[in-house]
Structure 1
């Protein structure tokens, strides 16, 4: 289940918008082999608030587009595709029958700015950032070039299957 909260007032968040994001989340998780009940929290903020969160959590005093806070621990550099089918998670990582994957913080203001900068739709940018964040929740990273190539390829594969293109 995707839980959303809107803490910004610069861009409208409609039920239709949340439905689209939910479908993107569900599809990305399914593509990654997550076939169990899950829980993700998604917080919509503006640039000012994401800058504060980025500074508090990462000591980086600037705005960013999306932040991901995975609940599960993964070995560095290892992606656990399909592990959800064969792994018995400790109750620490569950809320009832839902596996808590983590939290995402998305600056809708930054997404709008980037959609203009990159010359594609706002919907495409938000969808990209959601997929990007979900992959982080599942253990992907982009700190080294090899991992970045893998992650970028996976993001594009998922978005292309959803027919969300540039």
Structure 2
């Protein structure tokens, strides 16, 4: 289940918008073979708030587009690709039947700015950032170049399957 909270007032957050993001979340997790019930919290903020959160949590004093806070530390390839999820994660990692994957913080203001900068739709940018963030929750990263290539390729594969194009 996706839990959302809107803490910004620069862009409208409609039920249709939330439904689209939920659809993207469900699709990403299905593609990554997360076949159990899940829990993700998504906080919508503006550039000022994401800058503060970035400064507090990562000691980086600048705005960013999305932040991911995984609740689990695991090798996503082993856990989900081998489908050991019910054996690896006991009630310590669950809220009821839902596997708690973590939290995402998304600056809708930054997403709008980037959609203009990159010349694609706001929906595409938000969808990309959600895909990107969920992959982080699942253990993907882009610190070194090899991992970055893997993550970028996976993002594009998922967005293409969703028919969300640049």
**What's the TM-score, normalizing by structure 2?**
0.95
Please list, as runs of the form range in 1=range in 2, the aligned pairs for 1:139-150 lying within 5 A after superposition.
139-150=139-150
Deviation, 1:40, is: 0.2
CA 29–90 in structure 1, closer or farther in 2 if over 3 Å, else same: same
Structure 2 counterparts to residues 1-166 of structure 1, below 5 A: 1-75=1-75, 79-80=77-78, 82-83=80-81, 85-87=83-85, 88=87, 89-166=89-166
Match of 2:100, SS state, is strand
Measured against aligned partners, the alpha-carbon deviations of 1:4-26 in whole angstroms (never above 9, x if no partner) come to 00000000000000000000000
Whole-angstrom CA distance in 1 between matches of 2:59 and 2:97 = 35
Checking the alignment, whether the CA contact within 8 Å between 2:111 and 2:125 is kept in structure 1 is yes
What RMSD over aligned residues (CA atoms) do the two structures have, in Å?
Answer: 1.3
| Structure 1 unaligned spans of 5+ | none
SS of the residue 2:73 aligns to: coil
C-alpha contact (below 8 Å) 2:68/2:103 kept by paired residues: yes
- How many matched pairs? 164
Q: Whole-Å Cα distance in 2 between the matches of residues 125 and 61 of structure 1?
A: 23
Contact kept in structure 1, 2:65 and 2:129, CA below 8 Å: yes
Q: What's the CA shift for 1:83?
A: 4.6
Unaligned ranges ≥5, structure 2: none
Q: Which segment drifts farther, 87-96 or 152-161?
A: 87-96
Moved over 2 A (4+): 78-85
Relative distance call for 1:84 and 1:92 in structure 2 (3 A) is: farther
3-state secondary structure, aligned to 1:82: helix
Q: Deviations over 1:55-95 (max 9, x none)?
A: 000000000000000001125xx644625731321322100
